[in-house]
Amino acid sequence: MAKSKKKLQRKKATLGHFNHDAFLTKLSKRIKSLRKQNGFSSYELFSYDIEISRAGMAKYESGNFVDIRLRTLLKIIDGFDISPKEFFAEGFD
């Protein structure tokens, strides 16, 4: 008598649980707000201090971007002298 093998069903990932564009808009607003709260009058000087491009920083603050590298986001957060947990504590529901 042959043993029957049960085929395991794998869990599949799905998309659509949240609005990605809305998240990136919130990210932009949070970056700009924290820069101003921390006394950096211009994104140009802030970007120079944290060693990222001025053009990139302008895009991140204006919301005119479709992606951001994690390392770049971590540099921005570090430039505010806060942790990622503190960064995402406000403005992200």
Fold of 20-87: 434 Repressor (Amino-terminal Domain) (1.10.260)
pLDDT at 48: 97
- Its sign, for the CA torsion 67, 69, 73, 75, is negative
Report d(CA 76, CA 50) in Å as an integer: 7
pLDDT at 91: 85
pLDDT at 93: 72
What are the residue boundaries of the structural domains of the chain, listed by start?
A: 20-87
Output the pTM of the full model. 0.84
pLDDT at 92: 82
Residue in the structure block whose two tokens are 């960064």: 87
Provide block-wise average pLDDT over 10 residues at a time, the chain (93 residues): 75 92 95 97 96 97 95 98 96 80
Report d(CA 79, CA 50) in Å as an integer: 6
